[in-house]
Structure 1
Amino acid sequence: MPTYTPPLRDMQFVMHEMLNVVEELKMLPAHADIDADTINAVLEEGGKFCAEVIAPLNLSGDAEGCKLDKTTHEVTPPKGFKEAYKQYVEGGWPALSCDPAYGGQGLPVLVNQGMYEMMNSANQAWTMYPGLSHGAYEALHAHGTPEQKATYLTKLTSGEWTGTMCLTEPHCGTDLGLLRTKAEPQADGTYKITGAKIFISAGEHDLAENIVHLVLARLPDAPAGSKGISLFIVPKFLVNADGTLGARNGIFCAGLEHKMGIHANSTCQMVLENAIGTMVGEPNKGLAAMFVMMNAARLGVGNQSLGLTEVAYQNAVTYAKDRIQMRSLSGVKAPDKAADPIIVHPDVRKMLLTARAYAEGGRALSTYVALQLDKALSSDDEDERKECEAEVALLTPIIKAFLTDNGWIATSHCMQVYGGHGFIHEWGMEQFVRDARINMIYEGTNTIQSLDLLGRKVLGNNGATLKKFGKKIATFVEEEGTSEAMQEFINPLADLGDKVTKLTTEIGMKAFQNPDEVGAAAVDYLRVVGHLCFAYFFARAAKIALEKQGSGDPFYTAKLHTARFYFAKLLPETASLIRTARAGLQPLMAMDEALF
């Protein structure tokens, strides 16, 4: 059975030594009294919950899965999940970064981000139940009426109720303009909603007394396409005027999806039959409101793979130090044993270091984006808010796609370290691989994220936001360019920055002639920019490690080794990616469809 130790030391390094988050947060009125001790104490206590309460349920929950009673349409999650959720609510964990006006603790987003990384390491399937609730909270907090906020936000903040997002339908996934679910206006201002949704995570369960579904549907006179979509609150149980629960609403689970991974989360086929809903925001403008939840979910999915990368690495390292197999090619390393531990073999180390580097790089990038999100939400400087919003928008598809691609690579490597045992359920590694694979698909496939990055976020404003982020990298390069010790990090970082600029310009020129050139280059392009982000943060980490390696703390020695591995073994992937991106559209489209 796998184990999990929260990586608190590395979290603290990223927050306090690399990003100086306390100084940044103190500039925001909402967080003027924040301090490092508070942040550390919250995450330390949260780590205990993750390691001691939900991690032990991960393997058993995967084996047991969820059960649907087709007569009552009720879903029962695996044994122990409900008790763990009760403990989670009693501990106040759902309220961490929620608005104090609705019972929240008002802590920064980056604290919540750290908590969710640990939860995802411990048990991704369980974490999806409260995780979706937080997205529903964000959407209603941004777009709900005062009455809707009063009715739903306090319950979502406390965790007494959970939430979902109901988008996908059997005939359409990402292309929401095709959805058919109908909303008929009623005399009392509500709507009767009829339709079918699929792939609804945490769509039905008994962890909480009510489930708040956010449902996309069309009004009778709605225009075609995505401009004719409205958003509705459709609770599992109707809510009376005094806040108590009323009759069962006409939304229920008709079936559970039989999935490759995340077995312990109830992924539901939801049917709506004259379900009563209330509109969120304006008619036909539901996507704007839903995108608040979708963008939060995309950051959350990146965090899921970060969590899996970390826990897979931890367990693979333990196994590699214990498992003996063959002798080192350079001579015996463990003469007291019949063979050497496999961690002495170069390729085993390459797999382990790949996972470690992707975890540490992902943590740095995710925490940085969470800090920018805190500024976007809480700064009293309008220009700063807008700049941070734009940067978060730029980096969100990278968080979602780059981190989930890396999570798939890392968990696969860690399973490989185990050899045949990696394929056996009781070791836990094959579950991490299966769970990681979905993260590349849902909340917009990684191809969709790549198109969003290149088409909308970069070319859509002629690279303005990317240039601003690039200036931060250029400033760091200029500051450290004269340091001899930093050359092994600064030179490749500066080189990649130049290459990204040239690649962006080249693709942009091609796209003027044929927009499909964006689709041909987007996936490779996102991965190149993802590496640019990682290289920037690894260079910053290396600077700190070089300054502090004389302290004798092995943490800094390990940080420096990991940075050197990243620059030597992982960053060079960008050379082939740039070449394939430049190969363009023709090799993909030249063959006639009939020849496929």
Structure 2
Amino acid sequence: MTPYTPPTQDQLLAISVNAGIEELTQSEKFAHAESDLVEAIVEGVGQFAAGEFAPLNRIGDLEGAKLENGVVRLPDGFKEAYDAYVEQGWNAIASPEEFGGQGLPFTLSCNVLENLGAANMAFNLLPMLSVGAIEALEHHGSKDQQTKYLPDLVSGKWSGTMNLTEPAAGSDVGALRSTAVPIEEGEHAGKYKIAGQKIYITWGEHELAENIIHLVLARLPDAPKGSRGISLFLVPKYHVNDDGSLGNRNDLRCVSLEHKLGINASPTCVMSYGDNDECIGELVGQENRGLLAMFTMMNNARINVGNQGAHIAERATQQALYYAMDRVQSARAGAPDKTPVAIIEHPDVRRMILRMKALTEGVRALLYYCAGQVDRGTIGDGDAKNRAEILVPLVKAWGTDTGVEVTGIGIQIHGGMGFVEETGAAQHWRDSRIAPIYEGTNGIQAADLVTRKLGIEGGEAMIALFDEIARDAAEQPTLLALAKDCAHIVRWMRDEASLDDRLAGSVPFCTMAAVAVAGWQLLKQDKAVSAGAAPALAESKPVSVRFFLDHIVPEAHGLKASAIAGADLLYTLPSDKLVAG
């Protein structure tokens, strides 16, 4: 497996042009995010990721996490790398200053996670989940909870998880059965006894952090059925004393670890709460309003999962490029000299490399545009907040689909060696494949886009996005046509289509919308580079943008027929007739 080289210049370009970091510094909240600090963070975390996280990527895949006598063990080096991560303050980038954070834009937190994830996707899931837990407590925790738990979560001394899924309730969170019973008297009066089992809990048990703060969805007695009767509880691995020191272990345990296709160094746990009827938790927010609090964490997590698409694509692209430049095979077609050349000289391999590069840069541009809108929403820009809401499913769905595509192309470039584990190319694909599934499958993201998000301002917020793209793409016929068709589809879905019709076309429309926004943001990058920004990218950026506009955008445009085909054909055959006979 080749080493990780941080794409610092392209990241800085995206942070500047797509997130608009310079504009954010005009606000009081982010005034200290000046250019020299931004460059220091991006360069520093890139070097840290390459030096500390990347060398553990392959060994983490080969050895994985192991459960031994109730304790999750990681390969040698993980503890030291995590301690260095905490010591250098990377966990605290965007967290509130009052709890020890640096109070910097979410955009820079995205960059930290992009670099760490490209270096080691499985390991990066540990800080990624902690960031979401911090945000949930920041918005919904009581003052006492924030004071007690946030400083050590912000530093990374403690880690956080989210516990939604149960064996009998997958994406249907409203069907969960975990319970929370109020404690009326004794030392835990005012708290709750938690009981139940949760599955697919990422980094639910480990020894790298001193404590683990689990955010657990459960039902109170006599709570309403379905999602309206779910509350959120804070359940620590170790009880926390009033002075902040750790007490006895709580009544929770990791029952088993899932044996997965990829991300083997990330312990995916089956967690059991209250086996001895002594698991104690605290209510976060209001009773029966747990999903509201959890979705604060979920939106953050969905953007960061989309980020995984960017960073695994970057890692796969680098590996494929190094291999294609090193692997010599056959003469160039039509060349008078029959001397074998590096395979990157062959047209189809060059096409695949450019496709990987253009798609990776497109996802990165979309990611940082979304992050910048989140930051603007944080400082009170309502229009930006609405736009971020629309962009989240695009980032998560198209970003992770693209991660799978790019890592798959990477295997293809390696040829037979890509199918052999020793090269490491297959690991990137195996690791990437989970991202379209967790934090809400990509089908759920697309459904969210054509229901809740389409309903923002009666559809006008989404139409305004595509109208803005069309104005900026007036001289780019492929992108202009795509933006206009996206606006047309929004109106059709809003005014004419049934709910089934919208859902039937949701995935192709989500792809169209994401490619339109990514192409638009790449166009902005190209113009900035032409005006003198990022001189190191002066040769490469125009080519990757041109490839995206000439190849990726027309493909997305071709999805229009599928997006408006409606649902009738899907239900022409009864379910039992779909089986081949």
TM-score normalised according to structure 1 size: 0.93
- The reply on whether 1:574 has 2:570 as its aligned counterpart is no
Structure 1 residue aligned with 2:427: 431
- The reply on whether 1:367 has 2:368 as its aligned counterpart is yes
Q: How does 1:159-198 map to 2 (within 5 A)?
A: 159-187=156-184, 188-198=189-199
Q: Which moved more, 1:498-507 or 1:445-454?
A: 498-507
Structure 2 residue aligned with 1:284: 288
One-letter amino acid of the structure 2 residue matched with residue 179 of structure 1: L
Deviations 1:248-276 (A, max 9, x none): 11111000000000000000000011310
One-letter amino acid of the structure 1 residue matched with residue 464 of structure 2: K
> Given the superposition, is the C-alpha separation of residues 542 and 312 from structure 1 closer, same or farther in structure 2, using an over 3 Å criterion?
same
- The reply on whether 1:305 has 2:309 as its aligned counterpart is yes
Structure 1: gaps (5+ residues): 482-486
Structure 2 residue aligned with 1:84: 81
Identical counterparts, % of pairs: 41
Secondary structure in 2 aligned to 1:463?
A: helix
Structure 2 residue aligned with 1:314: 318
- The reply on whether 1:387 has 2:399 as its aligned counterpart is no
Q: Which moved more, 1:239-248 or 1:184-193?
A: 239-248
Q: How does 1:139-154 map to 2 (within 5 A)?
A: 139-154=136-151
Structure 2 residue aligned with 1:587: 569
- The reply on whether 1:527 has 2:511 as its aligned counterpart is yes
Secondary structure in 2 aligned to 1:532?
A: helix
Report the Cα offset of residue 492 of structure 1.
1.9
8 Å contact 2:161–2:201 — kept in the other structure?
A: yes
Secondary structure in 2 aligned to 1:223?
A: coil
> Given the superposition, is the C-alpha separation of residues 429 and 332 from structure 1 closer, same or farther in structure 2, using an over 3 Å criterion?
farther
- The reply on whether 1:67 has 2:66 as its aligned counterpart is yes
Deviations 1:515-565 (A, max 9, x none): 21122100011001011111211222232344449x9x5622211111111
One-letter amino acid of the structure 2 residue matched with residue 559 of structure 1: K
Structure 2: gaps (5+ residues): none
Q: Please point out which of 155, 159, 165 is paired with 1:158.
A: 155
One-letter amino acid of the structure 2 residue matched with residue 145 of structure 1: S
Distance 1:575 1:30 in 2: 40
Structure 2 residue aligned with 1:402: 398
Deviations 1:335-373 (A, max 9, x none): 6xx411111112111211111111111111111111111
Structure 2 residue aligned with 1:12: 12
Q: How does 1:402-551 map to 2 (within 5 A)?
A: 402-459=398-455, 461-477=457-473, 481=474, 487=475, 490-511=476-497, 514-548=498-532
Structure 1 residue aligned with 2:96: 99
Structure 2 residue aligned with 1:331: 335
Higher helix fraction: Structure 1 or Structure 2? 1
Distance 1:546 1:10 in 2: 14
One-letter amino acid of the structure 2 residue matched with residue 33 of structure 1: H
One-letter amino acid of the structure 2 residue matched with residue 283 of structure 1: E
8 Å contact 1:18–1:544 — kept in the other structure?
A: no
> Given the superposition, is the C-alpha separation of residues 332 and 78 from structure 1 closer, same or farther in structure 2, using an over 3 Å criterion?
farther
> Given the superposition, is the C-alpha separation of residues 241 and 414 from structure 1 closer, same or farther in structure 2, using an over 3 Å criterion?
same
Distance 2:351 2:109 in 1: 32
Q: How does 1:95-244 map to 2 (within 5 A)?
A: 95-187=92-184, 188-244=189-245
Distance 1:432 1:510 in 2: 42
8 Å contact 1:398–1:526 — kept in the other structure?
A: yes
Deviations 1:32-76 (A, max 9, x none): 23311110011111111100111000000110011112x3x1111
Structure 2 residue aligned with 1:56: 55
Q: Which moved more, 1:103-112 or 1:140-149?
A: 103-112
One-letter amino acid of the structure 1 residue matched with residue 236 of structure 2: P
> Given the superposition, is the C-alpha separation of residues 509 and 591 from structure 1 closer, same or farther in structure 2, using an over 3 Å criterion?
farther
Distance 1:133 1:542 in 2: 35
One-letter amino acid of the structure 1 residue matched with residue 522 of structure 2: F
Deviations 1:256-299 (A, max 9, x none): 00000000000000001131000000000000000011111101
Structure 2 residue aligned with 1:484: none
Report the Cα offset of residue 389 of structure 1.
1.6
Distance 2:390 2:157 in 1: 34
8 Å contact 1:507–1:521 — kept in the other structure?
A: no
Structure 1 residue aligned with 2:538: 556
Q: Which moved more, 1:128-137 or 1:535-544?
A: 535-544
Distance 1:371 1:503 in 2: 26
Deviations 1:63-111 (A, max 9, x none): 0011112x3x111122211111011111111111111100111121111
Q: Which moved more, 1:126-135 or 1:468-477?
A: 468-477
Distance 1:185 1:209 in 2: 28
Distance 1:19 1:74 in 2: 41
8 Å contact 1:401–1:449 — kept in the other structure?
A: yes
Deviations 1:175-201 (A, max 9, x none): 111000000010111000100000000
Structure 2 residue aligned with 1:264: 265
8 Å contact 2:501–2:564 — kept in the other structure?
A: no
Report the Cα offset of residue 332 of structure 1.
5.3
8 Å contact 2:459–2:494 — kept in the other structure?
A: no
Structure 1 residue aligned with 2:300: 296
Report the Cα offset of residue 125 of structure 1.
0.5
Aligned pairs, number = 571
Structure 1 residue aligned with 2:249: 248
Distance 1:399 1:165 in 2: 21
Distance 1:373 1:396 in 2: 10
Distance 1:468 1:282 in 2: 35
Report the Cα offset of residue 510 of structure 1.
4.1
Report the Cα offset of residue 469 of structure 1.
2.1
Structure 2 residue aligned with 1:2: 2
One-letter amino acid of the structure 2 residue matched with residue 570 of structure 1: I
Structure 2 residue aligned with 1:42: 41
Report the Cα offset of residue 398 of structure 1.
0.5
Report the Cα offset of residue 463 of structure 1.
1.3
Deviations 1:231-252 (A, max 9, x none): 0000001111111111111111
One-letter amino acid of the structure 1 residue matched with residue 119 of structure 2: A
One-letter amino acid of the structure 2 residue matched with residue 276 of structure 1: I
TM-score normalised according to structure 2 size: 0.96
Distance 2:142 2:536 in 1: 53
One-letter amino acid of the structure 1 residue matched with residue 97 of structure 2: P
> Given the superposition, is the C-alpha separation of residues 108 and 573 from structure 1 closer, same or farther in structure 2, using an over 3 Å criterion?
same
One-letter amino acid of the structure 1 residue matched with residue 21 of structure 2: V
